[in-house]
Amino acid sequence: MRLLVLTSSWLLIILSSHLVEGQDIECFCSGVTSDCSEASMYWSTLRVPVRGDDSGFSLTDRDQSPLSDSIKPVFKWDTYELGYRYNPGDSEVYYWALPDEFLGSKVGAYGGNLTVLQKAVFRGDPVQDSEVIMTGNGLTLHYGLGGGTRVSGKPEKNKITLQEEGWFVLNSGVPVPATREEFMKVLSNIEALLVRATI
């Protein structure tokens, strides 16, 4: 039995992309054509600091179901932290739903990173569940099955590479590695991007 109390957390999400010169990657044209050519791409960084209750971040579960009124994010102006309090006896795993800036076509971010800065104050052992869930075009991809060593109150920086490696599809509850085609299909129209909030 685990007892977790998340009293505060903060997020700074960075979505960036980069292309490696000389890297040969198979063309992805969303099934529209088989005649592809090289695209002129550039990298950029999308930083979304959490500032205030109306920052666009919300809490949800892995199915994006509505939560009770007692599970709401609270912004602490004195520390610039967005957090929530995990209710004792609650066994649900919650996720931060990222704001609209992270949704839509993010094909240009392929090969880049999703960097998450987070701090949690808790007791007990971390649960094992998906670290990130990304949904789009009728497909849901998961990244990582966290639950490793974490230290209560210590800020953590996690960098998730936006390539198919490490991502998986759940097939009857069994993780199956995502293909490049599946990853690009989701990346071409992200409808939800969830980052685990429950430690």
pLDDT tens for each residue of 43-98: 567 777 777 767 788 899 999 988 887 788 888 888 778 888 777 777 888 999 99
Q: Which amino acid is at 153?
A: G
Note the pLDDT of residue 162: 93
Q: How far apart are CA 58 and CA 199, in angstroms?
A: 16
Residue 19: the pLDDT is 45
| 116: confidence class by pLDDT, cuts 50, 70, 90 | confident
**pLDDT score for 11:** 43
User: How confident is the model at residue 24, as a pLDDT?
Assistant: 52
Ordered strands of the 156-161 beta sheet: 45-49, 12-16, 113-118, 156-161
Q: Do residues 148 and 139 touch, judged by C-beta distance below 8 A? A: no
Strand partners, 143: 132, 167
pLDDT (average), residues 174-195: 95
Per-residue pLDDT, 8: 35
Q: What is the DSSP letter of 71?
A: S
Exposure on the CB side of residue 89, measured as CA atoms within 13 A = 0
Candidate ranges 22-31, 53-62, 117-126; pick with highest mean pLDDT: 53-62
In contact, 191 and 103? CB cutoff 8 Å: yes
Average predicted confidence (pLDDT) for the chain: 78
Lowest mean pLDDT among 31-40, 73-82, 96-105: 31-40
- C-alpha angle 76-82-88 in degrees, rounded to nearest 5: 100
Q: Which residues of 144-153 are buried (b: 16+ CB within 10 A; e: fewer)?
A: bebeeeeebe
Assess whether pLDDT exceeds 60 at residue 112. yes
pLDDT greater than 80 at residue 10 = no
CA–chain centroid gap for 8, Å, is 18
